[in-house]
Amino acid sequence: MSDDEIRALYLRELHKIAPEVDLNEIDPAIDLREQIDLDSMDILNLAVAIHEATGIDIPEADYPQMTTINGCIAYLGSPGH
């Protein structure tokens, strides 16, 4: 997947979890838990949704990488994913 495809996937799944959030206001480098007050269950749901959309296993220990757009892009774009 390209970075743009990962970003689009991330934002699409985030919108399903937090439809009230203006996706254009999201800073890709800042933790969503701080930016838009997501809780740990929201991050879990986001990681599960990304897994279901991509088929890529995301171990629970890697969930913190799903808290930013940039982190998700780096994680999913790395070799082996």
Residue 78 has a pLDDT of 83
pLDDT per residue over 9-37, tens digit each?
999 999 999 999 999 999 999 999 999 98
pLDDT at 79 over 90: no
Round to whole Å and give the CA distance between 9 and 18.
14
| CATH number of the domain where residue 73 is located | 1.10.1200.10
Q: What is the pTM of this model?
A: 0.90
Indicate if the alpha-carbon torsion angle 63, 31, 8, 44 is positive or negative: positive
How many domains does the chain divide into? 1
What share of the chain has pLDDT > 70, as a percent?
99
Domain that holds residue 69: 3-77
